[in-house]
Amino acid sequence: MYNKTIAELAQGLRSGEFSSVELTAAFLDRIKQHSGLNAYISVTEDLALQQAKAADARLANGDAELLTGIPIAQKDIFCTEGVKTTCGSLMLDNFIAPYNATVVEKFNHAGAVMLGKLNMDEFAMGSSNETSYYGAVKNPWNINTVPGGSSGGTAAAVAARLAVCATGTDTGGSIRQPAALCGITGLKPTYGRVSRYGMIAYASSLDQGGPMTRSAEDAAIMLQTMAGFDDKDSTSVDTQVPDYSAGLNNRLDGLKIGLPKEFFGEGLNSEVAATLETAIDEYRKLGAMVTEISMPTLKLAIPAYYVIAPAECSANLSRFDGVRFGYRCENPADLSDLYTRSRGEGFGKEVKRRILMGTYALSAGYYDAYYIKAQKIRRLISEDFKKALSEVDVIMGPVTPSTAFGIGEKIGNPIEMYLSDIYTIAINLAGVPAMSIPAGFAQGLPVGLQIIGNYFAEDRLLNIAHQYQQVTDWHQQAPTGF
């Protein structure tokens, strides 16, 4: 059952081959068996079995949806009513969410079963899932390497078959990068396509939730539930949600693929580059036309992002002060001591680093020099994407410069860690959709191919990914022992 897709499991549930309770119990046992990966922060066994029983009743009554009875998991950044929601931080270690995020509510309405909450970099700040208060997550392909971040728990759980599928969030690559390092499919939708209500904010103008699955077909099914306008979210876009599964089998004859020369230069591991070239050759065989393009502002993405994102995190995390909710220091001497020690003790090193960076960038005398200039660069990057996507249908390239690196290898060097997202950050600054799909292996570890599309063209990306997955089997590969 572990290797079945959402559609296959849904068919099995409808035919009576197995019940949702049996399926859920099997996954719960599997989570216990592989707890050493540290993919889950909380396992909601009682709730999962309760939801599974309700799903079986819906299935018996004939009013089930495609996700009814399917065991999924939520990144621990989505608020879940009555369940601890931590964001991977000591600051929220005792926080029981009083309401559901819109995304969680949508899955509940569909009858999905929540197995638990997945580990993540603290407040989604990190590229390796090593900044979590609950410890590093291990990559199932090699437990001495990182799974990527911040959605590392999600990627590891899906790759190791500890959930059929799961949610992630992407601020600068945090769905695509871990998807690439763990050999799964991850989709970052257009900014505003998926509601951010109840998704604890890191950088509000960049954060976006999305599906992490083993295949593009499963991602289409998940996104169908996740997407849609939400009047509780002021950044949600009121635009029609297409049937994401309807066009999966469309042919790719005449597809125009652009390869930015800036993506294939210095810094890209040669084995990763060769693996990607083989994947792009498959698209040529499928009828696509490939051309080199130039996007000169891409080199400015990292410095612009690391002004804008920390500035927004500085504002968003100001609410965690030891007064209203979250961690509070013991025996504060006065109000100033309460604020200082609660924040100093409750936040980890990387979160404090970004708060300080953001506060500095927003301070008097530096706002124009840093924050305003970064926003101007962001506009130039958006214009570069608009220009490129007026000439080609999609842009392809690497997700990461290398395969998964060792646990502890980069944690002491923030700059080197930040460069792990060099190929993903510009997409968030522009707000366009992008996904990572498994494209092979280098040095025995997974390599992801990044596909970038135009605004609200997720259906086209899923079609392009699905067609590739019909002629390759990289997405079906499982780590040894899982």
Which residues have a Cβ under 8 Å from the Cβ of 364 and sit 6 or more positions away? none
Query: Residue 365: its pLDDT value, please?
Result: 87
Helix or strand run (H / E) with residue 105: helix 102-110
pLDDT at site 139: 98
Short-list 325, 321, 313, CA closest to 96:
325
pLDDT at 364: 87
How far apart CA 41 and CA 120 sit, in angstroms, is 9
Sequence ranges of the domains in the chain: 6-254, 299-375
Structural domain 6-254, CATH architecture: Alpha-Beta Complex (3.90)
At residue 324, φ and ψ (nearest 5 deg) are -80, -45
Report pLDDT for 325: 84
395 beta partners: 258, 452
pLDDT at 1: 84
Alpha helices in 34-73 (DSSP H): 45-61
pLDDT of residue 383: 97
Distance CA 181, CA 343 (A): 32
144 in helix, strand or coil?
A: coil
Q: What is the pLDDT of residue 39?
A: 98
Instruction: Write the single-letter amino acid at 338.
Output: L
pLDDT in tens, the chain (482 residues): 889 999 999 999 999 999 999 999 999 999 999 999 999 999 999 999 999 999 999 999 999 999 999 999 999 999 999 999 999 999 999 999 999 999 999 999 999 999 999 999 999 999 999 999 999 999 999 999 999 999 999 999 999 999 999 999 999 999 999 999 999 999 999 999 999 999 999 999 999 999 999 999 999 999 999 999 999 999 999 999 999 999 999 999 999 999 999 999 889 999 999 999 999 999 999 999 999 999 999 999 999 999 999 999 999 999 999 998 889 999 999 999 999 999 999 999 999 999 999 999 999 889 999 999 999 999 999 999 999 999 999 999 999 999 999 999 999 998 899 988 999 999 999 999 999 999 999 999 999 999 999 999 999 999 999 999 999 999 999 999 99
Active-site residues, by number, are: 75, 150, 174
Vertex 147: Cα angle to 36 and 100 (nearest 5) = 80
Scored b (16 or more CB within 10 A) or e, 434-456 reads bbbbbbbbbeebbbbbbbbbbbb
The Cα–Cα gap between 7 and 124 comes to: 30
Residue reference for tokens 């646990």: 407
Q: Which stretches of 342-452 are assigned E, i.e. beta strand? A: 394-398, 434-442, 445-452
> Model confidence over 429-462: pLDDT tens digits?
999 999 999 999 999 999 999 999 999 999 999 9
Residue 80 DSSP one-character state: B
